[in-house]
């Protein structure tokens, strides 16, 4: 029996030396209820009274030995696993970090913000209007009755017979004058729609910025001064503006406004197509019919309005020759601004 116990100790020792030892299986094999050591202890009844304590003591020693050996091995395995982890997952704190990519505003949004800031600096407030608009606000209240030829140049998308996607930001003029009595001094940037095919200078969706000033004694001189200040701030101090007679149903008199070409200074170049001038907006004195329709007496009050394309200003400012670049969102293009 003594030899049997020594064998068990040696067998356990040998198994625990194996690199792939399964500790739980070893524990069950030697110390479990049906384990080898337990088997020996069960046979102790057959021993003589003087042998029994000696064998009992040895059996205890062997059990303690195996228990300790398993615990030591478990501890060693744990330490080895931790060492491996520390080695494999080592961090080089001197390595340069990954810089986060910081986004920025789209060029159209940048220019819109710049335009807004210029007008805010002159005391204008910002008002927004709906993109899905009534025919009444987009056309009728702007002195463009049904079948008026001016509708042809602003054909848009219709939701119903009298609801459409606004073709201009001018309806915000009417909405503002209905709600607010003079003095009025607002700009209104936003999306507008026209059923135009896409090409280098057209898009069914684009952006405009509308301006409206109504008060006692407002004249064309105020309009000119305001637009000149805008043009000089936007395109450079030496920029000049030029008014050409035009027609808009909702302003009288009306004008198309050009800025002197800031690339060639007016001599003629590729940007201004040899003209020396670049058209940037439409403007005029608010038509008495429009004022009257909003319950503002044209005998007491007068006003001016203007509207310009934000794409157009952006393209002129940055020398972009194809509008489609502004909508493709190719980062190689956008990163330049
Ligand atoms: N709404 C006009 C357009 O889209 C521009 C404009 C605005 C003209 C205000 C005069 C006054 O063409």
Residue nearest to atom 9 of ligand 1 (CA): 306
Q: pTM for the whole thing?
A: 0.73
Report CA(318)–ligand 1 centroid distance (Å): 23
Report CA(293)–ligand 1 centroid distance (Å): 18
Looking up tokens 């302003």 gives 251
- 278 shares its domain with 134: yes
User: How high does pLDDT run on average in the chain?
Assistant: 93
List the domain range (segments joined by +) for residue 322. 107-334
Ligand 1 atom showing the smallest separation from residue 192 Cα: 4
Give the tens place of pLDDT for each residue, 181-232: 999 999 999 999 999 999 999 999 999 999 999 999 999 999 999 999 999 9
Instruction: Rounding to the nearest 10 degrees, give the CA dihedral for residues 320, 321, 324, 328.
Output: -40
Pairing of strands 277-286, 251-260: antiparallel
Bridge partners (DSSP) listed for residue 106: none
Whether the CB-CB separation of 240 and 260 falls below 8 Å is answered with yes
Give the tens place of pLDDT for each residue, 253-300: 999 999 999 888 889 988 888 999 999 999 999 999 999 999 999 999
- 131 shares its domain with 272: yes
Residue 62, in any domain of the structure: yes
- 326 shares its domain with 250: yes
- 195 shares its domain with 288: yes
Q: Of 59, 88, 117, which one is at a domain's C-terminal end?
A: 88
Residue nearest to atom 5 of ligand 1 (CA): 307
- Chain CA centroid to CA 248, Å: 37
Whether the CB-CB separation of 172 and 214 falls below 8 Å is answered with no
126 phi and psi angles, rounded to 5 deg: -105, 130
Ligand 1 atom showing the smallest separation from residue 309 Cα: 4
- 27 shares its domain with 167: no
Cα–Cα distance for residue pair 320/324, rounded to 1 Å: 10
Give the tens place of pLDDT for each residue, 166-178: 999 999 999 999 9
Instruction: From 212, 133, 143, 227, select the one nearest 176 (Cα to Cα).
Output: 212
Residue 97, in any domain of the structure: no
**% the chain with pLDDT above 70:** 100
Report CA(185)–ligand 1 centroid distance (Å): 16
Measured at the CA of 118, the angle between CA 168 and CA 202, to 5 degrees, comes to 35
CATH number at 300 reads: 3.30.930.10
């Amino acid at each position: 029996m003594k030899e049997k116990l020594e064998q068990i100790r040696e067998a356990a020792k040998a198994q625990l030396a194996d690199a792939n030892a399964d500790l739980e299986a070893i524990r069950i094999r030697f110390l479990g209820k049906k384990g080898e050591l337990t088997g020996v202890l069960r046979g102790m009844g057959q021993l003589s009274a003087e042998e029994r304590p000696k064998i009992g003591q040895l059996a205890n020693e062997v059990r303690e030995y195996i228990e300790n050996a398993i615990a030591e091995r478990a501890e060693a395995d744990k330490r080895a696993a931790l060492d491996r982890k520390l080695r494999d997952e080592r961090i080089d704190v001197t390595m340069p970090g990954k810089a986060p990519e910081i986004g920025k505003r789209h060029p159209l949004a940048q220019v819109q913000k710049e335009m807004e800031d210029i007008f805010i600096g002159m005391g204008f407030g910002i008002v927004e209007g709906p993109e899905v608009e009534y025919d009444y606000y987009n056309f009728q209240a702007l002195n463009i009755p049904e079948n008026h030829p001016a509708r042809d140049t602003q054909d848009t998308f219709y939701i119903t017979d009298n609801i459409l996607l606004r073709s201009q930001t001018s309806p915000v003029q009417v909405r503002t004058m209905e709600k607010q009595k003079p003095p009025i001094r607002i700009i209104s940037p936003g999306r507008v729609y026209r059923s135009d095919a896409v090409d280098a200078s057209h898009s069914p969706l684009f952006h405009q910025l509308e301006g409206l000033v109504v008060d006692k004694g407002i004249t064309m001189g105020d309009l000119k001064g305001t637009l000149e200040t805008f043009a000089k701030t936007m395109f450079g101090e030496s920029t000049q503006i030029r008014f050409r007679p035009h027609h808009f149903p909702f302003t009288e008199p009306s004008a198309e406004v050009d800025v002197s070409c800031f690339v060639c200074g007016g001599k003629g170049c590729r940007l201004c197509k040899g003209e020396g001038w670049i058209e940037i907006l439409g403007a005029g004195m608010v038509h008495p019919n429009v004022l009257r329709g909003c319950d503002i007496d044209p005998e007491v009050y007068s006003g001016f309005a203007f509207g310009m394309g934000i794409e157009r200003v952006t393209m002129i400012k940055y020398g972009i020759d194809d509008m489609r670049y502004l909508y493709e969102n190719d980062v190689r293009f956008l990163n330049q601004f």
